[in-house]
Amino acid sequence: MNEKTPGAVITAIASVSLVIMVFLLYFLLQEGLPALREVSIRELILGFDWYPTEEPPALGMAPLIVGSLSVTALSALIAIPLSIAIAVFLSEVAPTWVQEVLKPALELLGFLPSIVLGFLGMVVLAPWLQESFDLLSGLNLLNASVLMGAMIIPIVASLAEESFQAVPRELRDASFALGATRWETIRKVVFPAALPGLLSASLLGIMRALGETMVVLMAAGGAALVPVSIFDPVRPLTSAIAAEMGETPVGSTHYHALFFAGLILLAMTLGINLISMWIEKKGKERWMA
Amino acid sequence: MSRKYVDRLASAVLWTSAATLVIVLLSVMAYILANGAEAISWEFLTQPPRDSMTKGGISTPIIGTFQLVLVSMTFAVPVGIATGIFFAEYASAGIFTTMLRLCVRCLAGVPSVVYGLFGLSLFVIFLRFGSCLLSAGLTLGCLALPLIITASETALLAVPQDFRLASYALGAGKWQTVKKVVLPAAMPTILTGAILSVGRVAGETAPIIFTGAAFFAPNVAKSLFQEVMALPYHIMVLATAGTHIEQTRPIQYGTVLVLLMVVMGVSSVGIIARARLRRKRK
Amino acid sequence: MKKSAIALAFAASLSLVGSAFANNLVVNGSTTVLPIAQSAAEKFMESNPEVSITVSGGGSGNGIKAIIDGTTDIANASRFIKTSEVKAAVEKGSYPVPFAVAMDALLPVVHPSNPVKDLSIEQLCKIYKGEITNWKELGGDDAKIAVVGRDTSSGTYEVWDEKVMKKERVTPRALVVASNGAMVQTVAKNKLAVGYIGVGYVNDTIKTLSVQGIEGNVKTVLDGEFPISRYLYMFTQGWPEGNALKFINFVLSDAGQEIVGKTGYVPLR
């Protein structure tokens, strides 16, 4: 066998990822863009009426986009502070035996299937919310956000912990040597040093929340409206796709609009991914300097 | 407020947040265990659903999940390892490598429902596989691919440079070095990465809804072109569709428990094995 | 080592491929019809153990598409075939044949303490549009109406949309619940609520309303008197043959129609 052959084969197989990405973009564009033939982009993105089964369908995705953003924002608000607290705890405060138990447990929690969270939201959290806050329904923005928060805590906390760990030991020692307490060291030295990593960890958590489907499909209530309270139901982009894809005739405007929704999701998550990559790169460069 | 007092207070807050997480986690697990345990029996694990899914077991979804994992890994493991080898051993700085890296990173962030749309248009419609085990398995394979690539590359890079140099010194070529020295040394770590991606794949629902999950199939799929039942989809179906949502609640809890045991079991094997390997290296 | 692993995996996947079994029947389509199809498939297989029926719920649109493409034997649909779909079928030279297998009827429901007994379609429409917001306007107490609806992707919503709302839109302030069961629970707990459920879900915790003076029950639905109802269909590719024919015949038989009743829909006779 020629010594060059294996290298060529490996390179060829490696390009499968490139091919998948290209196909992914191609199919989403091919199936999503035809929506613009029937509806203007302005109406599609800024329209507030999502009545896809009407004749002709009203395909304003603003409530869906706002739904996605509101669940993501609220869950980030719940999860990020807690995740960072847990990361600080794991990296700076916890005794070794706690670290040894908690770190793998946290990682394991990251594997919790989202359908399980969605199920708990539906059968446990929803009735409880309904009773305790005297609501008409417990399937709402708050329910989905709490579960989504639980979903992204392991991701954000693990990554944040890594970025705390990456802060050189010497910085802490220097701070202690100057007489600073542990908390002062964390707040004034470790935290600022780890900031790019924390930002990127939070962004990756947000990206995950934005793209998560089952939790919002089962627990968010599913009404395509712009929420004014945390007890209002929402219908994020992901749950609209999952719930409506099967019911619509293949090739209809609604079908294309759902692919367009996928395109919006892809654009948002890719954007966040690129920003977090940029932050990571900046952060690394800082340590190099 | 004295500095010391603030320091203590901060520690207390941090301990509390960690403890809260642990307590919530444990109580959720205990709750599922308590509600699911009574549904689980030998019959539940070995019988297919009966009587409009209000009775019987979940053997078909269990086996379906297993088949989906098998198909996805048959695709993702070889391709993922090869790509890892490319990055770790063959890649030269250049536009192709940069693009490929960007793709892998972006694929890792693509929402699972978008993978579903992709699988629907590529495998189900364009390649005419139809909604079946093969389409759903390949869709899940695409989703797992970036995980395996990253795990493989990290594992290969962790193999000490001396190994490669020693092999070259003995006159081995690049491919021989990779095949006989580097890959075997990295294999255990790569496999733990693959095991972890199995944990991820087994619990996914959104990508299989339109690509191959069956509401009900009486038998285990005997061909790649049949639809399969899967545990996550079965939970969704029982909890949201049909006329017996309340009656099947014990079965729902049982299915949730089984799915959790499968996913958490596989993932903990991966996590523990990886921790062992890391310790050995040190 | 790797090569042999790949070879093994390849061999395993090949053995999985095999040819599809001749006695395989694939049923695809509407989630509304799923419970009927699933129960019927189970019973059918009890007496025909050589046949294997797979039921999946891609939705009416997917089911009809699958019939046109010939990738499924039977398509469940909670609506009749659309003009655009007929056109597509003609282009592909296929001829979907509909069989009505059951009726689906929706009853308006309120809390048992609510004095209102009857509403007209027009009143229901105005309630759901958000024009009538107080029970006083309907002969009830002076209290706000809590409107409860279903999400737009459910088959139940489609019927309500078609038969009650016609071209009007449900107010965005309406609460949305995910299932018939959740609707019963919600309405049973809320004195001000109004909702709608399938006939199979009626129980003592809620009160059903008559519509235009007509009580909703099996008889009035079958007579066509009760206005909020629709047919559920199974489509086949051309006139059914073999197992597809047997299965459709079974669904339409007495035993099959009994299943329809048990799953919460109205049998055809």
Judging by DSSP bridges, how do beta strands C24-29 and C74-77 pair with one another?
parallel
- Which DSSP helix (H) or strand (E) runs through C93? none
| Structural domain boundaries in chain A | 33-288
Instruction: Report residue B137: phi and psi, to 5°.
Output: -65, -45
Task: Please give the structure tokens belonging to residue B207.
Answer: 């990508």
SS3 A199: helix
pLDDT tens profile B82-133: 999 999 999 888 899 999 999 999 999 999 999 999 999 999 889 989 889 9
- For the segment B161-170, the average pLDDT, to the nearest whole number, is 93
Q: Domains plus CATH for chain C?
A: 2-103+230-262 (3.40.190.10), 105-223 (3.40.190.10)
Preferred mutation among A158, A214, A217, A280 to probe B, highest tally of B CBs within 10 A? A214
- Whether chain B has a CB inside 8 Å of the CB on C45: the answer is yes
Under the banding of pLDDT at 50, 70 and 90, the label for residue A207 is very high
Nearest chain A residue to B85, by CA? A10
Instruction: Report residue C245: phi and psi, to 5°.
Output: -65, -45
Q: Which long-range contacts (CB under 8 A, 24 or more apart) does B154-158 make?
A: B154/B189, B154/B193, B155/B84, B155/B186, B155/B187, B155/B189, B155/B190, B155/B193, B156/B84, B156/B85, B156/B87, B156/B88, B156/B89, B156/B182, B156/B183, B156/B186, B156/B190, B157/B88, B158/B186, B158/B189, B158/B281
Query: If you classify domain B43-281 with CATH, what class do you get?
Result: mainly alpha
| pTM for this predicted structure | 0.90
Task: Report d(CA C110, CA B21) in Å as an integer.
Answer: 42
CA–CA distances in Å: residue A10 to residues A6, B180, B181, C219: 6, 16, 17, 70
Across the interface, of C18, C20, C57, the residue whose CB is closest to B215 is C57
User: Domain A33-288 adopts which CATH fold?
Assistant: MetI-like fold (1.10.3720)
Cβ neighbours for B26, distance < 8 A, ≥ 6 positions apart: none
Cβ neighbours for A175, distance < 8 A, ≥ 6 positions apart: A184, A185, A188, A189
Under the banding of pLDDT at 50, 70 and 90, the label for residue C20 is very low
Name chain A's partners: 3 or more CB pairs within 8 A: B, C
Q: How many CB atoms lie under 10 A from the CB of residue C168?
A: 15
Nearest chain C residue to B230, by CA? C56
- Whether chain B has a CB inside 8 Å of the CB on C12: the answer is yes
SS3 A224: coil
Looking at per-residue pLDDT, the higher value among C173 and C112 belongs to C112
- DSSP letter (8 states) at residue B101: H
Name chain B's partners: 3 or more CB pairs within 8 A: A, C
Task: Report d(CA B167, CA B156) in Å as an integer.
Answer: 15
Residues of A in contact with B106 (CB under 8 A): 21, 270, 273
DSSP alpha helices (H): ranges in C98-217? 121-129, 155-160, 180-189
Res C144: pLDDT: 87
CA–CA distances in Å: residue C73 to residues B126, B183, C32, C239, C252: 21, 48, 18, 11, 17
Res C16: pLDDT: 42
Task: Report d(CA B215, CA C232) in Å as an integer.
Answer: 18
Q: How many CB atoms lie under 10 A from the CB of residue B85?
A: 28
| Structural domain boundaries in chain B | 3-37, 43-281
* Contact by Cβ (8 Å): C177, A130: no
Q: Smallest CA–CA separation between B194 and chain C, in Å?
A: 14
Whole-number CA gyration radius for chain C: 22
Judging by DSSP bridges, how do beta strands C175-177 and C193-198 pair with one another?
unpaired
Task: Please give the structure tokens belonging to residue B49.
Answer: 């659903």
Q: Quick check: A16 and B83 CB within 8 A?
A: yes
Whether residue A243 is predicted with pLDDT greater than 60 in this model: the reply is yes
Nearest chain A residue to C153, by CA? A244
Residues of A near C (CB-CB distance < 8 A)?
49-54, 122, 130, 136-137, 139, 218, 221-225, 233, 235, 243-252, 255
* Contact by Cβ (8 Å): B189, B132: no
Nearest-10 Cα torsion for B141, B147, B150, B155: -100
Whether residue C21 is predicted with pLDDT greater than 70 in this model: the reply is no
Task: Report d(CA C16, CA B278) in Å as an integer.
Answer: 37
Considering only residues 130 to 189 of chain C, which have any Cβ-Cβ distance to chain A shorter than 8 Å? 146, 148, 151-153, 157-158, 161, 167, 169, 172-178, 182, 186, 189
ipTM of this complex? 0.93
- For the segment A189-213, the average pLDDT, to the nearest whole number, is 94
